[in-house]
Amino acid sequence: MDSKNSEPVNELADLRDLFESAPCGYVSATRDGLIQRVNGTFCEWLGFKQEELVGKRLHDLLPIVGKIYYETHFAPLLRMQGEFNEVALDFLRADGSRLPALVNARERRNEAGETQFVRLTIFDASDRRRYEQELLNAKKTSDRASEELLQLNSVLEERVSEEVAERMAVEETLRQAQKMEAVGQLTGGIAHDFNNMLAVVISGLNLIQRRISRGDTDVGTLIEAAMGGATKAATLTQRLLAFSRQQTLAPEPITANVMVSEMSELLRRTLGEPVHMETVLATGLWKTVADRNQLENVIVNLAVNGRDAMSEGGRLTIETANVAIDDGYATEHQIAPGQYVMIAVTDTGAGMPPEVIEKAFEPFFTTKGVGKGTGLGLSQVFGFVKQSSGHVKIYSEIGHGTTVKIYLPHYYGTDEAPKRKLSGDTPTGLAEEVVLVVEDDQSVRELTVQMLGDLGYGVFSADGGQSGLRMLHEHPDIRLLLTDVVMPDMNGRRLAEEALQLKPDLKIIYTTGYTRNAIVHDGVLEPNVHFLQKPASVTVLAQKVRSVFDN
């Protein structure tokens, strides 16, 4: 035979050898599962000769469970889809043992679409089955170990719980003692400062009363002194509220660079000539959102503290920057990570030792001499910043100076704060601009009515919510409702809601000295709410009423 005729023979021999010695089993069967051809690999796995398998039905090589599965799943799936992949079956070997296998099957059809035979490719899954069993055994062992560990943990937790309970009882006793000491210090400081302020007010009013009874009308100085004492008392109250994070805030979008620039001249006059003030304002500074008036007070407060620390003069720097607080720093200081606007006030004064820094934010703690400070400045800063979801940090070195850094959250909105009218004037009103004052405290109600009347407004008054609603029914010309928030029977929020049903265009101002009420959430005013903090001077009352009427 020449070489050309021998090539097809060799190729056929190669293909037969490839078929017989393939690393997987090959079976050709009829549609009913009758085996027509099988390779040597599959015969070797099962321990049969080829002639023993040819002519057998495929499901005869399966155990009972496999036969059922073959008839209910295997054969129907093949008829519906014409193929399937990786079906797990166990084949029976000649010695009765089982061969775990994964079976792929595909029908071969003629041009008429009729099934000619089914080709099965079979893979030995013994190693896979063994691995699965080993994993299952390992999981059982792990579960047992976990259960034993849980039992051990339970015993340990019970013992630790008992130990912690004992320690907590001791710590609670110590904490109560420290709390009483702190309350004593706080109330002592408040009582001392308030008594001094009330002494000025009461003494001034007594002297005014005596002089007027004698016909002496030269009481201007005494009135100013009494007003000064009352104003200091109101300021002390606001600082206490700020420290306790209960003051009412009216946050607005702020560009700190603009605010600091507008304050520069005021700060320079406040600090005096011995202190050289400079600003370092970051380009592209982000906006933040905060109560502008309170933030200005904070900066002035820090600047004055810096001036007082530089007894012989020095340099005070106000700096702004964009900063990012990472997770580590945020976790350490219990704040939210993210982007912040930083405002720093730095002086070149004496600096503070670590033990002073630790107490710097405590109320009534001060290193200044008697009569030179209340000890509430930094505690007010701390309370305001925390209530504004921010962070404050002191950095100081003896002999070199101190830096106080305030971090306020980056504001991503596009809203602009309304332009403010910086004026100390006392605007007046018209008689046809009628105001209804609802206040349950008679003295406060009468004084408020008198102040509004002196400002030129038409005024009615009521001592509660129900009488206020009656006034609105009887006097349809009322245009503005000035109501206390905390009142018996009907609070100011409910009164306002019912009043707006009677008169939808009614303007409303809430006033209170108590911050935890229906018009604020976490100390922040609800949107579009007008608020007047008690006590309010004639000028503050006049400006608020005028702005609401003109809005």
pLDDT at position 227 is 75
Label residue 144 exposed, middle or buried (CB < 10 Å: 0-12, 13-18, 19+). exposed
Distance separating alpha carbons of residues 59 and 77, to the nearest angstrom = 15
Residues 460 and 387 in one domain: no
In which domain, by residue range, is 361 found? 252-411
Q: Which residues of 311-321 are buried (b: 16+ CB within 10 A; e: fewer)?
A: eeebebbbbbb
**At 520, is the secondary structure helix, strand, or coil?**
strand
Report which DSSP code applies to 115: E
Residue 334: what pLDDT?
83
Residue 426 maps to a domain = no
Q: Which of 243, 268, 299 is the last residue of a domain?
A: 243
363 and 316 assigned to the same domain: yes
Q: 422 lies in a domain? A: no
CATH of the domain at 73: 3.30.450.20
Mean pLDDT, 10 residues at a time, the chain of 551 residues: 58 83 90 88 92 89 87 81 84 92 87 79 88 83 83 84 80 62 53 63 75 78 74 62 52 88 83 87 90 84 86 89 88 87 91 84 60 58 84 88 91 65 70 92 87 92 92 92 86 89 91 58 60 80 90 77
Domain CATH code at residue 495? 3.40.50.2300
- Per-residue pLDDT at 377: 62
Give pLDDT, residue 178: 53
Number of structural domains (the chain) is 4
Co-location of 355 and 452 in the same domain? no
Q: Check residue 316 and give its pLDDT.
A: 92
Amino acid 415: pLDDT:
63
Considering the domain architecture, whether residues 319 and 375 belong to the same structural domain is answered as: yes
Q: What local confidence, expressed as pLDDT, does residue 422 receive?
A: 43
Residue 498: predicted pLDDT? 92
pLDDT at 500: 92
Q: Give the whole-angstrom CA distance, residue 482 versus residue 437.
A: 5
The pLDDT value recorded for residue 471 is: 92
> What pLDDT score does 216 carry?
76
Q: Does 418 fall in a domain? A: no
Domain end position, chosen among 64, 94, 124:
124
At 174 the pLDDT is 65
Three-state secondary-structure class, residue 506 = coil
pLDDT of residue 481: 95
Q: Do 359 and 380 sit in the same domain of this protein?
A: yes
CATH classification at residue 295: 3.30.565.10
Residue 237 pLDDT = 62
Its pTM stands at 0.44
235 in the same domain as 144: yes
Instruction: Report CA-CA distances (Å) from 127 to 95, 123, 133, 308, 380.
Output: 20, 11, 10, 83, 73
